[in-house]
Amino acid sequence: MMVQIYDYLKIRRKAEQSFVKYKELVLEATVGLNAKDKEIYLQNKKHYLKDHTELHSIKIAPRKHLKEERWQDELFDILKLREESRMKFLINRTVNKLLSPDSFAIVLKEDMVSNSTPFLHTNIDTSTLYSKRYLKQIKLCLERSTIIRRSIESKHVIFVPLKIKSTEVGCMILADNGELPLQTEEFNIVKILRLHLTTIMIRIKEFATLNKDMELMEKLVEITRNFFSILSVDKLEQEVIAVALDFTEGSRGFLIKKDKFENYVYKIALDDSKHLLKSYAFISKTILSEVQQLKQPIHIKDVIEDKIFGSYLEYSGDAFSIYCAPILVDGNIHGYLYLDSYNSDAGKMLINREFMKLLLIQISVAFKNAMQYESLMFKNLEISSLDNLKNDFINIASHELNTPLTTLLGYTRKLSRSKLDKADKETVLLMKQSVSRMQRLIKELLDFNKYQMTTKLNLEAVNIKALMKDIAEEAEQISSFRHMQIKLEIEENLNNIHLHPQSFRLIMHHIIINSIRFTKDFGTITLGVRRSTFQQEEIDGKPTLVIYIQDNGIGIPESQLTKVFQKFYELTDIVSHSSGNLEFKSSGLGIGLSIAKKIVELHNGKIWINSKENEGTTVFISLPI
């Protein structure tokens, strides 16, 4: 093969030398063969030829016959790929197809700095690539932006700079095994290949950066989700330091705060295994002070080489990096995130400024969220305590007031039976009415407090028709002095309904009292029960039993309809009436409908009002069947 190649290249001397050597090798191969076999072998191997130009045992396909458009198209196709491993495979295949080097490598610029594994390398080890001799030529070809040819240890080596203008990507190294220097056609291929490979390598670096950014972004999203699930400030502080160490591959992480005396306090101190640190050597207070003043992060890549802060540490060991940033919440410094790579094998942390900026924003929002939650929990605890105090006060005050009022009522009844003149009798009657009214108000307060604290009622099956008849009779007695008409409308064939009879009676009492209070003499109040007929009367899409109380009184202004169920809300500028020993005035406590709403909700039902001024009001109650 070598004879034919040299002959094709018109290197006569080399061709003749190789032809002589070829014939010697063929002859050596016949040692030990009998005469007949030896002769056959020598004839087959063209041993008796006198001129090397007559040896044509192998067909030679010169590389220059490869179509340039075809292999360039193959290189352009590599640019369409997204997988780095696939790109590497195709680059390696194309180079071997075009040049068939004995050894081949592509070394990126960043690989040279750290002596890390080259981007691509075939039949050449890293110790050779990063030897002084090779590195010198690599740097030289990049500086000159020129392909350099060298003979190194009997091999023909070329160094191809992968560079476009000022953008240095790396270097491609091609070497044979000492055969022949690159021919003109091969060299032209290398020159074209250089431009394409530089473009491809830039593309690969862009993809690598993009993929790394995507990984960081996914990690940041997961970190944010985790942060927002933590609602305790103390736990969040611990998690922030642990996450920051993972995110930057630091060896130590601190959350540093200032006490009331402006002294730095190490609130959290962890190593990269998330164990608590006991010593805090070589923490730069100068950097902390600078961060406090600027309210901006500071990143020191190498404390040994840093000219500004390095001297303040008084440190002479291995190089390490520092990152310090303020944790800002609403513009105020909550603490300082302090990370470093002290005593780390890597020496430096992985600090991506843009992603650290995003991480700090998420940390800030997470702390604000946790602080607001703790504040709300504290306020809720205060409100709960006040609510308990209020309930206790209402119970105690109601009972304490009820005792003397019962005594007063007894005396007024005794006085009313004694012989008094007309004026005194009227005074006693007013006293009796006032005491009775006070007792009713106290009972309302006790009922209100009772049902506010109730979370569940014991329901039982009740004949709603019989219950409504009893309630209608009570309403007739209360309104008899007002000459009011109480009507009862009950749908036929109603099944028993599960409710709490005592509390249901209390609902109806408050609503009926309101109807009597705000309806003029000789008015009409209708009590009704029916199955639900409209969608708004259903509960969770299921049929209900609807109880309604309708009057033809003065109605409620539309602007106040949404407020009537509020606690202690009273309608204003409304007339009042008297009925027997009951006095209906608009100056009550305003908790009747609030109690009714709470009891209805305890029945898993709903209550609402339709009303129109000067026409009347209807209160609807829907209860599950």
CATH code, domain with 542: 3.30.565.10
* Same domain flag for 473 and 443: no
Residue 236 burial (CB count, 10 A): 20
User: Is residue 221 situated within a structural domain?
Assistant: no
Q: In whole angstroms, give the CA distance from residue 391 to residue 385.
A: 10
* Same domain flag for 426 and 463: no
- Whether residue 573 is predicted with pLDDT greater than 60 in this model: the reply is no
Q: 281 vs 76, 340, 345, CA distance in Å?
A: 55, 11, 17
- Of residues 283 and 588, the one with the higher pLDDT is 283
pLDDT at 58: 67
- Whether residue 105 is predicted with pLDDT greater than 90 in this model: the reply is yes
Highest mean pLDDT among 26-30, 234-238, 451-455: 234-238
**Phi and psi at residue 422, in whole multiples of 5°?**
-60, -45
* Same domain flag for 589 and 504: yes
User: Is residue 145 situated within a structural domain?
Assistant: yes
Least confident of 104-108, 205-209, 477-481: 205-209
* Same domain flag for 9 and 94: no
User: Is residue 227 situated within a structural domain?
Assistant: no
Domains identified in the chain, total number: 5
| pLDDT tens-digit map of 277-314 | 988 888 888 899 999 999 999 998 888 777 677 666 66
User: Is residue 583 situated within a structural domain?
Assistant: yes
- The CATH number of residue 415's host domain is 1.10.287.130
* Same domain flag for 151 and 254: no
Q: 444 vs 391, 394, 451, 580, 592, CA distance in Å?
A: 13, 11, 11, 20, 7
**Smallest Cα–Cα separation from 287: which of 305, 310, 265?**
310
- Of residues 367 and 580, the one with the higher pLDDT is 367
- Last residue of one domain, picked from the residues 420, 453, 486: 453
Alpha helices, H only, 229-339: 233-248, 285-294, 310-313
User: Is residue 60 situated within a structural domain?
Assistant: no
* Number of residues written out for the chain: 625
Q: Which two tokens stand for residue 9?
A: 């290249």
* Same domain flag for 391 and 316: no
Three-state secondary structure call for residue 560: helix
Q: In whole angstroms, give the CA distance from residue 94 to residue 71.
A: 7
3-state secondary structure 17-66: HHHHHHHHHHHHCCCCCCHHHHHHHHHHCCCCCCCHHHCCCCCCCCHHHC
- Whether residue 220 is predicted with pLDDT greater than 90 in this model: the reply is no
pLDDT at 395: 67
State the residue range of the domain holding 423.
371-453
Q: 622 vs 128, 475, 528, 563, CA distance in Å?
A: 89, 21, 12, 20
pTM: 0.47
pLDDT at 144: 92
Looking only at the bridges linking them, the beta strands covering 264-271 and 298-300 are: unpaired
Side chain identity, residue 463: N
- Whether residue 578 is predicted with pLDDT greater than 80 in this model: the reply is no
Strands (E), 199-308: 252-258, 264-271, 298-300
- Last residue of one domain, picked from the residues 298, 320, 351: 351
- Whether residue 69 is predicted with pLDDT greater than 70 in this model: the reply is no
pLDDT at 587: 47
Torsion 437-439-441-444 (CA) sign: negative
324 with 287: CB under 8 angstroms? Answer: yes
| pLDDT tens-digit map of 116-126 | 889 999 999 99
520 with 557: CB under 8 angstroms? Answer: no
- Whether residue 581 is predicted with pLDDT greater than 60 in this model: the reply is no
pLDDT at 170: 92
- The CATH number of residue 139's host domain is 3.30.450.40
Percent of the chain with pLDDT over 90: 35
pLDDT-based confidence at residue 484 (cuts at 50, 70, 90)? very high
pLDDT-based confidence at residue 579 (cuts at 50, 70, 90)? very low
Least confident of 216-225, 487-496, 527-536: 216-225
Q: In whole angstroms, give the CA distance from residue 565 to residue 595.
A: 8
* Same domain flag for 559 and 576: yes
603 with 623: CB under 8 angstroms? Answer: yes
pLDDT at 253: 94
- Whether residue 577 is predicted with pLDDT greater than 50 in this model: the reply is no
* Same domain flag for 466 and 597: yes
The enclosing H or E element of 173 equals: strand 167-175
Side chain identity, residue 523: G
Torsion 10-14-20-22 (CA) sign: negative
User: Is residue 59 situated within a structural domain?
Assistant: no
pLDDT at 563: 84
- Whether residue 468 is predicted with pLDDT greater than 90 in this model: the reply is yes
User: Is residue 363 situated within a structural domain?
Assistant: no
Task: Give Cα 78 distance to the centre of its chain.
Answer: 37
DSSP for 535-559, please give it. GGG-BTTB-EEEEEEEE-SS---GG
* Residue 38 CB burial class (10 angstroms; 0-12, 13-18, ≥19): middle
* Same domain flag for 274 and 387: no
* Same domain flag for 519 and 550: yes
User: Is residue 365 situated within a structural domain?
Assistant: no
Q: In whole angstroms, give the CA distance from residue 364 to residue 371.
A: 11
287 with 306: CB under 8 angstroms? Answer: no
pLDDT at 222: 86
Side chain identity, residue 42: L
* Same domain flag for 106 and 207: yes
Three-state secondary structure call for residue 420: coil
- Last residue of one domain, picked from the residues 17, 33, 54: 54
**Which residues have a Cβ under 8 Å from the Cβ of 426 and sit 6 or more positions away?**
none
Least confident of 31-45, 330-344, 351-365, 488-502: 31-45
**Smallest Cα–Cα separation from 545: which of 504, 515, 514?**
504
* Same domain flag for 278 and 411: no
**Which residues have a Cβ under 8 Å from the Cβ of 107 and sit 6 or more positions away?**
118, 119, 121, 129, 138, 170, 171, 173
Torsion 25-27-31-33 (CA) sign: positive
Q: In whole angstroms, give the CA distance from residue 408 to residue 432.
A: 8
Residue 294 burial (CB count, 10 A): 10
Mean pLDDT of the chain: 84
- Of residues 543 and 76, the one with the higher pLDDT is 543
pLDDT at 582: 46
